[in-house]
Amino acid sequence: MFVETSLRELPLPRVAEMARLAEELGFDGLTFSEVRHDPFVVAAVGASATSRIELATSVAIAFPRSPMVVAQATHNLQELSNGRFSVGLGTQVKGHIIRRFSTVWDSPGPRLREYVQSLQAIWECWQNGTPLKYEGRFYQFTLMTPEFNLGPTPHPLRIDLAAINPYNIETTATLARGLRVHGFNTPEYLRDVIWPAVDDAAERAGRPMDDFEMIGGGFIACGTDEQAVRAAREQVRRRVAFYGSTRAYAPIFEHHGWGDLGPALRELIAQGRWGDLHTLVGDEVLDRFCMAGTYETIAERVGERLGGIVDRVSLPLPANAAELQDEIAGAVAALKALPTARQQRAAPVTR
């Protein structure tokens, strides 16, 4: 299993220090989300501070940025990291795109598909000198003068997409390297809904899945002892409640028979009771979304739930990770030994 960690809300001055520590602890990848920082800026800091670990935005919000801007940032980061960078993109939801970013929300599924195709066309122009002529419904790129042509690089464009609805899953399965599953997910939904949709789309497109990666699939709560695990689990309960209030994630609740939970969470928000959201998430719900254990047991817990159905997992890196190096390094090594989806799916079927 490929083991990542997220520098999600780390203060910017500590990014280089923690990136180096993550590399020393044996992590395979670092991810940077668009929460407190611009993920491309933080990825550049991480790239400069490390030499081996892979880096990815997880995820950058696509629509507020032109594909040309993202293509250039991705090219720069691939050069800076010597080929260790992947761009992970997501759509966000309508309210944030319109009201927080003041950006157009129009046919987000088809728009995301064109976004990926645009990135690929721009990189093809730089890489092979192909005339830039992408003309879609939402994006048109037809000008590339020598001054602004970044030129070829030995490091290929690597795109991962966040996807939950069938259209975006199909786009991911046909155009991207991997699918970044949101933490608000369950192994059951991944197995019953997402993988069948990926396989169906790839088969119809004639795409081999040898190099496709399923990334993530639930929250991990971890600590040095049971008390720390309980505290981490309660933090996950709050995150499940927060994300569960979003209409876009309703299919996951519905898949488990919890269709009334989303509206109930939104009713609390309408009353301004953000601090009470977690009280609606019982242990039965939490246990479906969260894999919890000490550093000694977490690999076993993750293996029970995600072994053989994902290729990458993300283990949280605590603020005091420097004091827990042996424990965290041991957990990372144990997680790496878990079977991946690609290994499981490539194994011969025995009867």
∠ CA 27-239-294 to the nearest 5 degrees? Answer: 45
User: Which residues, at least 6 apart from 270, have a Cβ–Cβ distance to it below 8 Å?
Assistant: none
- pLDDT, tens digit, for every residue of 190-213? 999 999 999 999 999 999 999 999
The residue-averaged pLDDT of 182-196 equals: 95
- pLDDT, tens digit, for every residue of 96-113? 999 999 999 999 999 999
C-alpha span between 120 and 133 (Å, rounded): 11
Please give the share of the chain, as a percent, with pLDDT higher than 90: 93
Identify whether the C-beta of residue 91 lies closer than 8 Å to the C-beta of residue 168.
yes
- pLDDT, tens digit, for every residue of 118-136? 999 999 999 999 999 999 9
At 349, the pLDDT band (50, 70, 90 cuts) reads low
Identify whether the C-beta of residue 20 lies closer than 8 Å to the C-beta of residue 49.
yes
Q: Can the peptide bond before residue 59 be classed as cis, meaning omega within 30 degrees of 0?
A: yes
- Sign of the torsion angle spanned by Cα atoms 295, 300, 305, 308: positive
Amino acid letter for position 346: A
Identify whether the C-beta of residue 186 lies closer than 8 Å to the C-beta of residue 252.
yes
The residue-averaged pLDDT of 64-87 equals: 98
- pLDDT, tens digit, for every residue of 282-340? 999 999 999 999 999 999 999 999 999 999 999 999 989 999 999 999 999 999 999 99
327 token code pair:
């424990």
User: Which residues, at least 6 apart from 350, have a Cβ–Cβ distance to it below 8 Å?
Assistant: none
Mean pLDDT estimate for the chain: 96
Identify whether the C-beta of residue 31 lies closer than 8 Å to the C-beta of residue 86.
no
- The burial class, CB within 10 Å (0-12 / 13-18 / 19+), for 277 is buried
49 token code pair:
């501070």
For the cut 60, the answer to whether the pLDDT of residue 351 exceeds it is no
C-alpha span between 31 and 21 (Å, rounded): 14
pLDDT of residue 191: 96
For the cut 70, the answer to whether the pLDDT of residue 177 exceeds it is yes
Crossing angle for the helix pair 298-306 and 325-336, to the nearest 10 degrees:
30
C-alpha span between 235 and 278 (Å, rounded): 9
Chain mean position to CA 247: 19
pLDDT of residue 346: 85
